[in-house]
Amino acid sequence: MNLLRLFAVAGVCAGLGAGASAATIGGIDFPDGPISFADSVVSYNPGGGFPGTGGCQDTSEAVGIPNFTGGDCDGYVSLGQGGSIVLQFTDNALTTSGDSSADLHVFEIGDAVEAMLISISTNTVDWIDLGRLSGQPTSIDIDGVTGVVSGAAYSYVRIIDDPNSGPSGGVYSGADIDAVGAISSTAPVTPVPLPATGLMLVGALGALASAKRRKRKQS
């Protein structure tokens, strides 16, 4: 294992479980508590069916713990007919459980049970399809899904409203997303800064390699 990879792995291992506090949220047990939930919105493409003005399109309502209170547009974002949203975990990541238990939970709310197309990714480029799922709410086991790598850290979840399911008009058109949580959670994969000694060693190795190249050219 090279030096850069060694420091990266050490940093990730150190972050596992950091600040984690198990909690039951929305009736679901999350071993890492509130940090289990998606933290930011990468993109939002509202679909059709919304009135000419207005609509439940506040994307901030889809991040953090579920907070739907029962009112229109209160605590959720509507996707619209065929619309989509991409959410990101930043202080944790979705991973596999190693068994048939649920790993991902989507809180889709409202009077109608609406279907969604859900996929996950490590980079927002390569997506793994988890299938068409109905809400109210939905738990998903990602183990065994084609393309899912055991132990990998998936930071992105994409939800697309099934345009052939549920209400297609009004301020709450399409699937209504309250929250998305990783039941099976791990530390996110992020670059880990090298300590000063590591930087000095890397610099020294680079200088040595450069000197060897110059020596070969001179000879």
Both structure tokens of 38: 């998606």
State mean pLDDT over 41-53: 92
Q: Does the domain spanning 17-186 belong to CATH 3.40.190.10?
A: no
Predicted confidence band at 207 (pLDDT cuts at 50, 70, 90)? low
Average pLDDT in the chain = 83
State mean pLDDT over 18-44: 91
Is 80 exceeded by the pLDDT of residue 184?
Answer: yes
Predicted confidence band at 197 (pLDDT cuts at 50, 70, 90)? low
Residue whose token pair is 């994409």: 158
In the structure, how many helices (H) and strands (E) does the chain have? 2, 13
The Cα–Cα gap between 189 and 166 comes to: 37
Is 70 exceeded by the pLDDT of residue 185?
Answer: yes
- Partner residues linked to 86 by β-bridges: 43, 158
Predicted confidence band at 166 (pLDDT cuts at 50, 70, 90)? low
Q: Tell me whether strands 185-186 and 28-30 are parallel, antiparallel or unpaired.
A: unpaired
The Cα–Cα gap between 49 and 89 comes to: 29
Is 90 exceeded by the pLDDT of residue 136?
Answer: no
The predicted structure's pLDDT at residue 137: 82
State mean pLDDT over 72-77: 93
Is 80 exceeded by the pLDDT of residue 50?
Answer: yes
The predicted structure's pLDDT at residue 19: 47
